[in-house]
Chains A and B, each alone.
Chain A
Amino acid sequence: RKEVEQDPGPFNVPEGATVAFNCTYSNSASQSFFWYRQDCRKEPKLLMSVYSSGNEDGRFTAQLNRASQYISLLIRDSKLSDSATYLCVVNYGSQGGKLIFGQGTELSVKP
């Protein structure tokens, strides 16, 4: 089992749609969780951290379920500019700042 698994893509959605990405992780000792965004052939950029209580940043909502070892990202009112690959990222349990990256889910928002 991969340490971080994400929904396979690509997701093709029309502008204005709501889209949800799911991610599961295997290390129950993981404490920190993030969603990163990566545009084609560019560096990953932090989209948002994921907190236990869930958190929202504008059109983006992240949820964490520790019992199921599951993380989600919801994007509402999709924009063309949301087209990118979304990476689920989990810290390496007890090993400090090391992060494990999922393979990513590609999103394509169409007019």
Chain B
Amino acid sequence: NAGVTQTPKFQVLKTGQSMTLQCAQDMNHNSMYWYRQDPGMGLRLIYYSASEGTTDKGEVPNGYNVSRLNKREFSLRLESAAPSQTSVYFCASAWGASNQPQHFGDGTRLSIL
């Protein structure tokens, strides 16, 4: 009964380092999403993948890249981390139709020093 699994749960990086956040879902969902959540800003969409093999930019894509590795997995990469990317990152998945809700992983808390 895992749902959406994110790794790691916590990470501290130095400015300029790179890292990849991993996300996997076991609900056979078509669509997957990456959000960041900052105090006072709410959830903001970084990138999404409507289906396996496709990815699209969301509201705040700069500084990030994504890979939809297969139907289950959707990774988020920071090539050169900046302090402005300190945030809580959530991955979500959904069937993909507009009337379907999204299901979230429990988040990755990332600090960039």
Residues of A within 8 A of B (CB): 31-32, 34, 36, 41-46, 49, 87, 89, 91-92, 96-99, 101-104
Do B104 and A44 have beta carbons less than 8 Å apart?
yes
- Whether B100 and A97, one on each chain, are in contact in the complex, defined by CB atoms closer than 8 angstroms, is yes
Mark each residue of chain B from 23 to 65: 1 if its CB lies under 8 Å from any CB of chain A, else 0. Answer: 0000000010101000011110100101000000010000000
The SS class assigned to the A binding surface is loop
* B41–A49 CB distance below 8 A: no
Grouping DSSP codes into helix (H, G, I), strand (E, B) and loop, the B interface class, with mixed when no group exceeds half, is loop
> In the complex the two chains form, is A103's CB within 8 Å of B90's CB?
no
Contacts of B43 in A (CB 8 A): 44, 87, 101
CB within 8 Å for A43 and B106 given contacts A97-B96, A98-B48: yes
Q: Complex formed: what's the CA distance from A38 to B79 in Å?
A: 30
Number of A-B contacts (CB under 8 A): 60
CB proximity of A109 to chain B, nearest CB, Å: 22
When chains A and B are docked, how far (Å) is the Cα of A32 from the Cα of B110? 31
Among residues of A, the one whose C-beta sits closest to the C-beta of B102 is: A99
A36 to B42, CA, bound (A): 12
Considering residues B31, B48, B58, which has the most beta carbons from chain A within 10 angstroms of its beta carbon?
A: B48
- The CA-CA distance from A103 to B40 in the complex, in Å, is 7
| Minimum CB distance partner of A96 in chain B | B98
Interfacial chain B residues near A87, Cβ < 8 Å: 42-43
**Also in contact, A97 and B102, with CB within 8 A (given A42-B107, A43-B90):** yes
The 8 A CB mask of B68-109 against A (1 = contact, 0 = none) is 000000000000000000001010001111111111111100
Cβ-closest chain A residue relative to B30: A97
